[in-house]
Structure 1
């Protein structure tokens, strides 16, 4: 039995779009006005989505239910798997006492909360986004800031907002790769276009973050640090995205801005370290009382995390791991049962890549770190079980959020909203980022939003005489500012920032900043489409053929990588004696 999606159930696209907005408006109302807990809001929103899909769009109830199940499965794996392992890695660092050394080391660089936020949330978070993505950067950086003594709400909120700059190039450029595959525009051209939009946001983001933390006057006190952090990041992001492609901008910009800021702090420091209200004042500078070996041991979980994620991101290694450890199956009864408006069957396949998943890389890093930080195996297991108990409500929230997203997509509700935006004619370039923003809000992923809307962006731009790379790139760029209010991201940040049950507070903290940044990007895209066309790169459309990845050298890569990990563990072990 097949069911064909209905995009305009009322034969009036405006009315259909208003009804399609109801589940999304409910999420805003529940979190901002009603202040519901995250898992409650997401479960009710899922139920509303099912009712509209069945009663308005004519979707069979069994298809809606199976779509929800498929989404919940994806929420559990790989999303929850990443969150669980990331928080586990942080928890073993705390349990072993090594995080106290990290806190002291950070204070020896700077005791100033503003600068710690830039180093960890902005620079280190960008690096993690470039290598891992899928919520891991926010989970890790938010947990680190809370561990350092940050107010949990500020820690989680700042990490969500800081995560906007790198999202477009996250997970080694996967969002742009997917946009290229769907739209037929070369990924280098999309990378260049995004790299001529986001650096404008990146250069002001450190200033924006610090103002949120400390106010305008206190922000001016660390102007040199803000300029170094923002300008170094933006320049490196622009250069790498325009000349190296979409895979490395986050890694290069994140590490480059971190190193640049640390070098600056060797020669300059604010006159007085700033702390949150109520915190005990500290001395202007703290000397590092720990040896290099002790610091290396304390940081070893995060160094291992970095190494593992880099290794797992290499295509040859990923190919080997998928060959040995991936199970994929068609979701029974729903696979190819839904047809789009063109009559094409929509595949519903669940991929359980348990070896190549980012969460597995994090788990391996954490497992290797257990003995390195001085914990027994039994203690590591206890910490893992405690982590599962800690995250029980976030797991429910994330699973239900993804169920919500899959119902909206499978029923055609998402496409209804896209169609109304595409009907704005010559103003479409202004609304093109809104489409990406909407896609990320619903799905929690810039990659998924690009898969949904890149083709529509290209076709609409061509119709109105605008270069399609402008609007396809706008989908990518607009999506990054939707990440900070996506219910999935809110749930991840709340879990890591010890804000379980207070997701509404976090949502209200970030939502106004998301709209402000979205408007900023929309005006930039409008200018690129009509007024500063010289910023658009030259390119030729793809022929539709996608080369298969070469995994022939995967075993050699994997062996070399394993030797590197073992050598590092031995070095830490010897140095710790």
Structure 2
């Protein structure tokens, strides 16, 4: 391992983290600096093929335009989600949203778990593509939670189901290298990923309450948190191991919500007054359906289109994905905002004003998103080899602790690319080769990669910036990342321990 090469490859990440967390600068300020530094490296230190300046321009130009185009798609989703939040604020329906949720439970800690963890798990299975945090964060803000805390909680809620993604794509496509090599089946990859994340969802309710309320937040709520964690854990285990990757996330989210509601109604929760939401007694302006209509439409249309469209129209879903997978999610959220406005009786003039105000708030995010995405594409490009260098250097150092390192490599891939699928595809073959040379089980090692990649979404700057923009918190990324890094560290250690146990002790011959 050449330490200088490793350090130089790592330096764009260091620039981002030091700028945001160390100097507390906004991502909008830091990201162009990180981009400029990455471009300098691409033209000089990591010009692996010795290309001329003009030749390098030809290689990097498509990556720059790809970053801008993909950034636009993310900004479009942010715009749709933020428009809905502003629409609820403009009409006053936001108070009726609080009242509706309070009818399920007036305990704000229960609301955090259901909306912060279980709803994102459902949304990841229904759509993926960043939709869970973009929808859950504004929802939590609408319920009266602190915006930065809402963002951190929403990102944490999506830290486990991203291994399955929309219709299981992250595990199915991301693990294709193992399947094609005859080393695993899709069912085996899904089963082992579920055996990681079942422990993630077991502890996340406790982390969320601590994140939102501190130590005092656990007063009287431990029985419910235990039930929520165990029920979600068992549901994810059963679906991932005995049903399939396609329905694991959506099924886990939906069943967990129903079980939590049943627990609250049948068993109840002891709620101190300081954690009680009094909105249930609020004088309503709108009915529950009207107030919640944008979110109700999303909960119906996202899974309906994702799973029903191919059956209704041949290649219909493929047509919607012509401009990329995320584009259909953007369209659905925008349509749900329009349907919500119609349901709430909002006139065109008011809706136009809300959209205009929202656009002025999210368009600057394009600079940030575009810059960070271009950095990611350059780092993972074969022309620079930066991402592969980082991963291979980590792998070369760890030896028998490789299963734990696979989790870290997966997280680093998602941290840079913002997608678990991208991380899985990038590193699957490397893990296959490492498992063969070390005489270890490639299924459990890839599962560690897959779990780590899902977890990496929690701290990814791209995701943080996008989620911040949905609740008008651009510039506060450092506050969010300080919260998410603590949660990330806890679950990362847990997954690294599980990777070692699964590979070397419990399941060394799984699927072999």
TM-score by length of 2: 0.91
- 8 Å CA contact 1:91–1:387 kept in 2: the answer is yes
What is the CA deviation profile of residues 536-563 of structure 1, one whole-angstrom value per residue up to 9, with x for unaligned ones? Answer: 6426xxxxxxxxxxxxxxxxxxxxxxxx
What is the CA deviation profile of residues 267-317 of structure 1, one whole-angstrom value per residue up to 9, with x for unaligned ones? Answer: 413242434xxxxx865x9458669x9112222211111221112212616
Show the counterpart of 1:512.
486
1:145 aligns with 2:145: no
What is the CA deviation profile of residues 217-263 of structure 1, one whole-angstrom value per residue up to 9, with x for unaligned ones? Answer: 43142012112211111111110011111111221211222122222
Show the counterpart of 2:105.
110
In structure 2, stretches of 5+ residues that fail to align are: none
Match for 2:425 among 451, 471, 494?
A: 451
Closer, same or farther: CA 455–273 of 1 in aligned 2, 3 Å = farther
Shift, 1:195, TM fit: 0.9
Q: Which has the larger radius of gyration?
A: 1
- 8 Å CA contact 1:43–1:397 kept in 2: the answer is yes
Show the counterpart of 2:258.
259
Q: Which moved more, 1:171-180 or 1:89-98?
A: 89-98
Show the counterpart of 2:70.
74
1:521 aligns with 2:510: no
Closer, same or farther: CA 363–218 of 1 in aligned 2, 3 Å = closer
Show the counterpart of 2:452.
478
Show the counterpart of 2:333.
362
Show the counterpart of 2:370.
399
CA distance in 2, matches of 1:155, 1:165: 17
The SS at the match of 2:149 is helix
Show the counterpart of 2:316.
321
Show the counterpart of 1:571.
none
Shift, 1:400, TM fit: 1.4
Show the counterpart of 1:26.
15
Show the counterpart of 1:347.
none
Give matches, 1:429-440, under 5 Å.
429-440=403-414
Shift, 1:319, TM fit: 5.6
1:389 aligns with 2:360: yes
CA distance in 1, matches of 2:20, 2:320: 39
CA distance in 2, matches of 1:527, 1:158: 29
- 8 Å CA contact 1:113–1:273 kept in 2: the answer is no
Show the counterpart of 1:303.
296
- 8 Å CA contact 1:13–1:416 kept in 2: the answer is no
- 8 Å CA contact 1:179–1:187 kept in 2: the answer is no
CA distance in 1, matches of 2:251, 2:331: 24
The SS at the match of 2:195 is coil
- 8 Å CA contact 2:407–2:453 kept in 1: the answer is yes
More helix by share: 2
Show the counterpart of 2:350.
379
What is the CA deviation profile of residues 358-406 of structure 1, one whole-angstrom value per residue up to 9, with x for unaligned ones? Answer: 1112122222222111112333233222221121232221121111101
Show the counterpart of 2:159.
164
- 8 Å CA contact 1:21–1:417 kept in 2: the answer is yes
The SS at the match of 1:485 is coil
CA distance in 2, matches of 1:362, 1:319: 23
Task: Let me know the Cα RMSD of the aligned residues.
Answer: 2.3
Show the counterpart of 2:391.
418
Give matches, 1:262-273, under 5 Å.
262-267=261-266, 268-273=268-273
